[in-house]
Amino acid sequence: MDILILGALRDRESGYDMNKELVGKRSQNTDADRRRQPTRVEAEAAVRTLIEWAGDDPDREGLLGTPERVVRAYEEFFAGYHEDPVALLTTTFQETADYDEMIVMRDIRLESHCEHHIVPILGKVHIGYLPSDRVVGISKLARVVEVFAKRLQIQETLTAQIADTIQKVLQPQGVGVVIEAAHQCMTTRGVRKPGVSMVTSRMLGSFRDDPTTRREFLSIIGNPRSGIASA
Ligand SMILES: [Zn+2]
């Protein structure tokens, strides 16, 4: 903490805004320190507690292996916390001077989990961008979706994260991301609205500013019907 105060004083003298960065790094470290990763045994015990809370007996035969299986499933569902989508795109983009048409990948399968109930969000993602000079293999765009989807999410944040990452790394003239998804927390519990899907979008650059570009993109992906909520 002393170091931070000294840093702040020095910043004021030199006019160099270093303190903000230091504080940012410091608080990140503190958060990480506070969040000790529980052991596998602790995680399995927590699942056992939830089974009891639901009203069943975790020692009956059918449930004996369930805590272990659930913890393994969580490793798959939330593998995205251990991957860096920016690095994924940065190491694989290619420079190209002669391609300036819209690139669209539609109907990318989406499997995520809502951060409010930890139940599935299932749907599809459409991505379009207008390259300036960097392009990336289409499988890498699907991987970026996967890395963000395999975290606890809300659809609006997920939509924005995918678009912002593509914008940041590929620096295209524009990017558009549209997600259509059904939330099982809405369809199987609470308000119980089966068949309802939510559409979110994030339009950047020419996809935001140029109605022709946006229309072309929306027409290629088949004009999602519901009112689009901007992320
Ligand atoms: Zn939910």
Phi-psi region of 53 (alpha: psi -120 to 50; beta: other; left: phi over 0): alpha
Residue with tokens 């410091």: 26
The confidence score (pLDDT) of residue 229 equals 53
Q: Does 117 participate in catalysis according to the annotation?
A: yes
Kindly tell me the burial class for residue 139, based on how many C-beta atoms sit within 10 Å of its own C-beta (0-12, 13-18, 19 or more): exposed
| CA gap 43, 226 in Å, rounded | 39
Catalytic residue among 44, 114, 126, 153: 114
pLDDT at 125: 98
Q: Give me ligand 1 centre to Cα 5, in Å.
A: 42
Select from 3.90.1580.10, 3.40.190.10, 1.10.286.10, 3.40.30.10 the CATH code of 2-77. 1.10.286.10
Q: What pLDDT, on a 0 to 100 scale, did the predictor assign at position 127?
A: 98
d(C-alpha 165, C-alpha 129), whole Å: 12
Give the helix/strand (H/E) hosting 175: strand 174-183
Q: 172: how many CB neighbours lie within 10 A of its CB?
A: 24
Tell me, yes or no, if the pTM score tops 0.85: no
Residue 183 annotated to the active site: yes
Write down the domain spans for the chain.
Answer: 2-77, 84-230
The pLDDT of residue 28: 46
Compute, in angstroms, the gap from residue 187 CA to the centroid of ligand 1.
Answer: 10
Q: Please report which confidence band the pLDDT of residue 103 belongs to, taking 50, 70 and 90 as the band edges.
A: very high
Ligand 1 centroid to residue 7 C-alpha, Å: 43
CA–centroid distance, 25 to ligand 1, in Å, is 31
pLDDT tens figures, 145-158:
999 999 999 999 99
Q: Report the 10 Å Cβ neighbour count for 121.
A: 24
The answer to whether 151 touches 80, Cβ cutoff 8 Å, is yes
Q: Which residues contact 119 (CB under 8 A, 6 or more apart)?
A: 113, 183, 184, 185, 188, 189
d(Cα 151, Cα 81) in Å, to the nearest integer?
Answer: 6
Assigned CATH for 84-230: 3.30.1130.10
pLDDT, position 227: 46
Contact 125, 177 (CB under 8 A): yes
116 is catalytic: yes
Rounded Cα–Cα distance for residues 216 and 224 (Å)? 13
